[in-house]
Amino acid sequence: MLDQEWAIILARIQFAFTVSFHFIFPAFSIGLASFLAVLEGLWLKTGEGVYANLYRYWLKIFAVVFAMGVVSGIVMSYQFGTNWSVFSDKAGPVIGPLMAYEVLTAFFLEAGFLGVMLFGINKVGRKLHFVATLAVAVGTFVSAFWILSVNSWMQTPVGYEIGANGQFLPGDSWLTIIFNPSFPYRLVHTVLAAYLTTAFAVGAVGAFHLLQDRQNPGARKMFSMAMWMAAIVAPLQVVAGDFHGINTLEHQPTKVMAMEGHYDSHPDGAPLILFGIPNSKEKRVDYAIQIPKASSLILKHDLNAPLAGLDTIPDQDEPPVPIVFWSFRIMVGLGIGMVGIGLWSLFARARKRLYDWPWLHRAALVMGPSGFIAVLAGWVTTEVGRQPFTIYGVLRTVDSASPLDAPAVAVSLMAFVVVYFAIFGMGIWYIIKLMKKPPEAHEKPLDDAPIRSSGITPAMAVLEGSSS
């Protein structure tokens, strides 16, 4: 292979690696920030100490998650330029302003109020502190809004013209660009995914502690709240996902063909392939287990609707089918599992066994990481599925990269891999350590961090003073 081809492949691996690692953290912090805002709001409203305790408990975890999200996110804002400079030059006039709005309306908001949220309660009082928590929660959502608008525009580009210098230039309406055809669906699907991810992580922590002590009030409360989220949001997510899929069929049909494993066209009703082994060489799915006509039913809501296959697409425009096929099935499978846990929890609640059904708790514990895996699988589906383009149908990935020497990218990739596994591995271990401690009646920060406790304890004394 040519040096330039290697450089592009390495740059793609580097981007996939850094963005996947990064997204684990915001997927968690978007949901956690809202969860914390709800906890603090409920505490202010009811005065019940259990909410204050849970706030304290999850705030420590949030701080670690957020810090890792920030530092891994800064990497992303540079990587567009370091590794994808041709893309940046061309798409900058359109996506640059959207990302600038993300910084102006979200990053500063989160960062500006995070300090007060973490350390400031006894300096500003409870109401203002709640405002800070809300500001951080709103900031995480606004950030998702802008960056998903950028991503969606790259998937379904509209409202632009190509300038004489080869740049994508904005047309008359920024609203057309921001609210591009796939954006509303992707936004809803991703934000719900973040909430589900958090719900299952919180639910697993609650379940873990219920298995040790089913009387622990903090564990009961967090498990109950998480299971409500699972029961309500998981089915909503199925509906949102279906809408998103139909939207993708309309605008990026090739991606759906790869997701479905449809190498061939089906003029009178396409089958739903549940499992099978995509064989890219022979262009067929081996050992397929399929339901006749079900794919047409799901995508077209009509058993006999024709669906085109990859045989209608030129080879050089096809995404790598096996990756998309498998990642999609992982996501959907986990989603079905989440709906199952939600239904089980409703059943347990109806039978008043929510807190003393160890098998439910074990299942919820096992499903703890399911959100993270599903979110990553979903992103792999959508990002690999739009290959070989960075701007769908218009700019190819091979024409987007920086003019870098392969060794430079190889070295940086190795450095990222080593540092990310070491640093974020430690961080994740610290998070698990925090999660393993049961929520106590008078939740403190870390016993062995005197300065930090002076940071949070007086604040928490304020909370405790009125809650106990």
Partner 1 sequence: MIDLTVIWACIIGFAIIAYVVMDGFDLGIGILFPFFKAGKDRDTAMNSIAPVWDGNETWLVMGVGGLLAAFPLAYAIILPALYAPMIAMLLGLIFRGVAFEFRWRDPAHQAFWDKAFTTGSIIATFAQGVALGALLQGISVTGRAYSGGWWEWLSPFSLITGVGLLVGYALLGACWLNWKTEGGLQRQAVTYAGRLGIALLVMITIISLGTLTLEAKYYERWLSFPSIIATAQVPLASIIVTFLFYRSLSQKKDAQPFMWALALFGLCLVGLGVSIWPDIIPARVTIWEAAAPHRSQVFMLVGAAIMIPIILAYTAWSYWVFRGKVGAEGYH
Token reading at 105: 């309306």
Nearest distance from C-beta of residue 81 to partner 1, angstroms: 3
Minimum Å distance from CB 409 to partner 1? 8
Is 92 near partner 1 (CB under 8 A)?
yes
Residue with tokens 């790869």: 258
H or E stretch covering 279: strand 272-279
Q: Please answer whether residues 187 and 145 qualify as being in contact, where contact means their C-beta atoms are separated by less than 8 angstroms.
A: yes
Give the whole-angstrom CA distance, residue 81 versus residue 21: 19
Q: Confirm or reject binding of residue 17 to partner 1 (CB under 8 A).
A: no
Residue 75 contacts partner 1 per CB under 8 A: yes
Is residue 107 a contact point for partner 1 (CB under 8 A)?
yes
Contact 193, 237 (CB under 8 A): yes
Check residue 116 for interaction with partner 1 (CB under 8 A). yes
Could you tell me which residues are beta bridge partners of residue 278?
A: 285
For partner 1, give the closer residue by CB, 120 or 337: 120
Q: Which parts of 48-67 interact with partner 1 (CB under 8 A)?
A: 63-64, 67
Ranges within 342-381 binding partner 1 (CB under 8 A) = none
Residue at token pair 């405790």: 464
Contact string 255-284 vs partner 1 (x = CB under 8 A): ------------------------------
Instruction: State the nearest-atom distance from the C-beta of 14 to partner 1, in Å.
Output: 10
- Interface with partner 1 includes 96 (CB under 8 A)? yes
Least distance between partner 1 and beta carbon 441 (Å): 22
State how far Cα 133 lies from the chain centre.
Answer: 21
Chain-centre distance of CA 67, in angstroms?
A: 17
Contact flag: residue 239 with partner 1 (CB under 8 A): no
Q: How far is the CB of 218 from partner 1 (least distance, A)?
A: 20
**Shorter beta-carbon distance to partner 1: residue 239 or 426:** 426
* Shorter beta-carbon distance to partner 1: residue 274 or 446: 446
Select the residue interacting with partner 1 from 52, 68, 308, 338 (CB under 8 A).
68
Residue 278 and residue 305 in contact, taking contact as beta carbons nearer than 8 Å: no
How many other C-beta atoms can be found within 10 angstroms of the C-beta atom of residue 453? Answer: 15
Q: Smallest distance, Å, CB 264 to partner 1?
A: 42
Measured at the CA of 279, the angle between CA 274 and CA 282, to 5 degrees, comes to 130
Backbone angles phi, psi at 215, to 5 degrees: -90, -10
Residues 396-425 that bind partner 1 (CB under 8 A): 402-405, 407-408, 412, 415-416, 419, 423
Nearer to partner 1, 159 or 181 (CB): 159
Residue 108 binds partner 1 (CB under 8 A): yes
Give yes or no for residue 4 binding partner 1 (CB under 8 A): no
User: Per CB under 8 A, does 88 bind partner 1?
Assistant: yes
Contact between 21 and partner 1 (CB under 8 A)?
no
CA distance 139 to 134: 8
Q: How far is CA 454 from CA 40, 129, 167, 445, in A?
A: 20, 17, 54, 9
Q: Which of residues 120-139 bind partner 1 (CB under 8 A)?
A: 120, 122-124
Of the candidates 246, 242, 198, the residue with the CA atom closest to the CA atom of residue 222: 198
Q: Pick one of 5, 46, 48, 104: the residue that binds partner 1 (CB under 8 A).
A: 104
- How far apart, in whole angstroms, are the C-alpha atoms of residue 208 and residue 204? 6
Q: Taking a C-beta distance cutoff of 8 angstroms, is the pair 162, 111 a contact?
A: no
Q: Is 71 in the site for partner 1 (CB under 8 A)?
A: yes
432 binds partner 1 (CB under 8 A): no
Q: Which residues of 358-381 are buried (b: 16+ CB within 10 A; e: fewer)?
A: eebbebbbebbebbbbbbbbbbbb
User: In the range 168-187, which residues lie near partner 1 by CB under 8 A?
Assistant: 169-170, 174
User: Would you say how long the chain is, in residues?
Assistant: 468
Q: Does 205 bind partner 1 (CB under 8 A)?
A: no
Q: Does 448 bind partner 1 (CB under 8 A)?
A: yes
Count, residues near partner 1 per rule CB under 8 A: 86
User: By CB under 8 A, is residue 215 in contact with partner 1?
Assistant: no
Which residue stretch of 28-36, 231-239, 292-300, 426-434 sits at the interface with partner 1 (rule: CB under 8 A)? 426-434
* CA dist 30 → 27, 45, 140, 191, 321 (Å): 6, 23, 5, 8, 31
Q: Residues 95, 98, 102, CA angle at the centre, nearest 5°?
A: 135
First to last CA, the chain: 69
Check if the beta carbon of residue 31 is closer than 8 Å to that of residue 230.
no
Q: Which residues pair with 124 in a beta bridge?
A: none
Which residue's CB is nearer to partner 1, number 18 or number 155? 18
Task: Tell me the closest approach of the beta carbon of residue 453 to partner 1, in angstroms.
Answer: 9
Q: How far is the CB of 465 from partner 1 (least distance, A)?
A: 17
Q: Is 28 in the site for partner 1 (CB under 8 A)?
A: no
